[in-house]
Amino acid sequence: MRSKHLLDPELAPVVKLASDAGIKPGGQSPMMAALLAQPQPTSDQVEAREVKIPGPDGAPDVRALLYLPKNAVGCRGAILHIHGGGYVSGAPEMNAASNLNNAEALNSVVLSVDYRLAPETKFPGAIEDCYAALAWIHEHASELAVDRTRILVSGDSAGGGLAAALALLARDRGKYAIAYQHLVFPMIDDRTAIDPDVSPYAGEFIWTQASDLYGWTSLLNCAPGSREVSCYAAAARAEDLAGLPPTFIMCGALDLFLEESLEYARRLMRAGVPVEMHIYPGAPHGFQMVQTAVVSQQAVRDSTAALSKALRGTRHE
């Protein structure tokens, strides 16, 4: 393995799990199934319930998990969370523990959207489901005690890609504001899947270039790398990044998405968007699943601190 010597030893378990699971393009991996099979956490301080959101025109309702702090006083911020899974798998239950914790620790409403998956649903189905969820938060802000100026979007992997695309879509439609985008190793550029010069030290573990090609091919209505790919499918395709909200991006140094994340951060800063960027040495895609690793704990602290700061925002209480 060309990058094995760069791997943080504490993260070896997640690499072994992925290898043992036999992750291949197509289908849901045993590792993903294990994440979905975990018991759903509960808290005396947070009400968790399922909601149905009116879907896009002609589409079914969108299922989402809603987390509401029980003892909150006054208006609070909200996090629209979008799960990962390469656009082809996953569900909001995977992130129940972190969403519950964010609702409680950050005094925030959290809505985690169960968007339609590819290849059964092609672009723009997933992004329109996420837009419907954003609209729902804004339209129910009063009853949720949410300050509309403090609505954030957050996602990991494909969810990070959808979060970035949603920020672009919301900016361009001009109806529902997003105050902050929080992107965790985001999948934002279809061209990475066919790049003949992809980094030799990135993408060897967990999520490979072959996986990337399958994910993008499943989502798009055209071949990855085609000129007609929309920026609302692959945010890195956007020509103009001006006017996007302040941004947090984190990625592992061994992640296939490293270079596309770095380039997106660079372009955002050149467009006048405030950016906080974190790169974690020795870390592959999904590294935070090894919760005991020092680098994973640092990533959680960085991520939580960024969300906390963004949620404080401009208060209207």
Name which of 38-42, 252-256, 310-314 the model is least confident about: 38-42
Quote the pLDDT of residue 307.
98
Torsion of the alpha carbons at 180, 133, 138 and 59, rounded to the nearest 10: 140
Closest CA to 151 of 134, 171, 175: 134
| pLDDT tens digits, one per residue of 201-212 | 999 999 999 999
Quote the pLDDT of residue 15.
82
Name which of 6-20, 80-94, 255-269 the model is least confident about: 6-20
Using CA atoms, how far apart are residues 142 and 138, in angstroms rounded to an integer? 8
Q: Residue 239: count other Cβ atoms within 10 Å of its Cβ.
A: 6
| pLDDT tens digits, one per residue of 110-155 | 999 999 999 999 999 999 999 999 999 999 999 999 999 999 999 9
DSSP at 25: S
Name which of 24-28, 93-97, 120-124, 263-267 the model is least confident about: 24-28
pTM: 0.94
Using CA atoms, how far apart are residues 238 and 229, in angstroms rounded to an integer? 10
% of the chain surpassing 90 pLDDT = 86
If phi > 0 it is left, if psi is from -120 to 50 it is alpha, else beta; for residue 106 that is alpha
Over range 160-170, report the average pLDDT. 99
Over range 14-41, report the average pLDDT. 62
Over range 232-251, report the average pLDDT. 98
Using CA atoms, how far apart are residues 154 and 147, in angstroms rounded to an integer? 17
pLDDT band (50, 70, 90) for residue 31: low
| pLDDT tens digits, one per residue of 7-18 | 999 999 888 766
154's CB contacts (< 8 A; 6+ apart) are 79, 80, 81, 82, 163, 181, 182, 183, 184, 307
Bridge partners, residue 78, by sequence: 109, 151
% of the chain surpassing 70 pLDDT = 92
pLDDT at 22 over 50: no
Enumerate the domain spans of the chain: 4-312
Q: Select the CATH number that applies to the domain covering 4-312 from these four: 3.40.50.300, 3.40.50.2000, 3.40.50.1820, 3.10.20.600.
A: 3.40.50.1820
51's CB contacts (< 8 A; 6+ apart) are 63, 64, 65, 66, 111, 136
- What is the side-by-side strand order in the sheet with 62-69? 46-53, 62-69, 109-114, 76-82, 146-156, 180-184, 247-252, 275-280
Over range 291-297, report the average pLDDT. 97
Share in percent of the chain as helix, strand, coil (round to 5): 40, 20, 40
Using CA atoms, how far apart are residues 232 and 205, in angstroms rounded to an integer? 27
Rg (CA), the chain: 18
Bridge partners, residue 68, by sequence: 47
Closest CA to 263 of 230, 283, 237: 237
